Amino acid sequence: MSLQINWQAIAATIIPNVGGIAGGFITRQAIPKWYEGLKRPEWRPPNKAFGPVWTTLYCSMGYASYLVFRDGNGFGGSARLPLIVYASNVALNWAWTPIFFGARRIDLALCEMQLVNATAVATCYLFHQINPVAGYLIIPYCMWLGLATALNYAIWRDNRGSATIEEVKDK
């Protein structure tokens, strides 16, 4: 009996994590120098939770994309539009970190997050049309985005016009 490895499933599961890892470098530098100085809500998850949560979500999203690719006959079949929307969502998701932590533009990140949310919900719906399990795998991501959006909003609301943001930007 030989073990067959599904390289397509593995690649699809890993790909979303690439941007997450890259964003991690930006985030790690910004946390002690900038983020810790911001007013943040008491209900926010601990900083240590974000890495494992995002890794789990990215893996679920990636595997869901594989299921849609497989069951929707790839880019030449019915999976084309769902995968394009998904790829757009992943790119928008990856862009949030450099906007928020890199450019320190909490306001712009909050606006950009609305595009992430819209494409995530669309991805969930379109994936479900091809493979219901794939659609269900996107639901936790959409829920986490709700929390992330609320956190982004609270940080924007509580820090707009704050000297903390401006002082650190100028350094």
Confidence class of residue 164 from pLDDT cuts 50, 70 and 90?
low
Is 42 a member of any domain? Answer: no
Q: Does residue 115 sit within a domain? A: yes
**Where do the DSSP E strands lie in 29-99?**
none
Domain for residue 76, yes or no? yes
- State mean pLDDT over 143-168: 86
What is residue 166's predicted lDDT score, i.e. its pLDDT? 52
Q: Kindly state whether residue 78 falls inside one of the protein's structural domains.
A: yes
Q: Which pLDDT score is estimated for 2?
A: 82
CA distance 169 to 171: 6
Domain membership flag for residue 135:
yes
Report residue 104 as tokens: 């320190």
The DSSP H or E segment spanning 146 is: helix 132-159
DSSP class of 98: I
pTM more than 0.85? yes
> Phi, psi at residue 139, to the nearest 5°?
-60, -45
* 17-26, 55-64, 132-141: range with lowest mean pLDDT: 17-26
Task: Kindly state the helix (H) or strand (E) to which residue 99 belongs, with its residue range.
Answer: none
Number of Cβ within 10 Å of residue 76's Cβ equals: 8
CATH number at residue 58: 1.20.1260.100
pLDDT at position 1 is: 75
47-71 helix and 80-97 helix, angle to the nearest 10 degrees = 160
Residue 170 reports pLDDT greater than 70: no
Q: Where is pLDDT greater, at 169 or 148?
A: 148
Task: Give the domain extent around 143.
Answer: 7-31+48-170
Check: CB of residue 80 under 8 Å from CB of residue 129.
Answer: no
pLDDT band for 161, please (50, 70, 90 cuts).
confident
- How far apart CA 37 and CA 165 sit, in angstroms, is 8
Closest CA to 134 of 73, 82, 74: 82
Q: What is the pLDDT of residue 171?
A: 47
Q: Is residue 37 part of a domain?
A: no
pLDDT of residue 148: 98
Number of separate domains in the chain: 1
Average pLDDT for the chain: 94
Find the Cα–Cα–Cα–Cα dihedral 103, 148, 29, 89, rounded to 10°. Answer: -60
32-89 confidence digits (pLDDT tens): 999 999 999 999 999 999 999 999 999 999 999 999 999 999 999 999 999 999 999 9
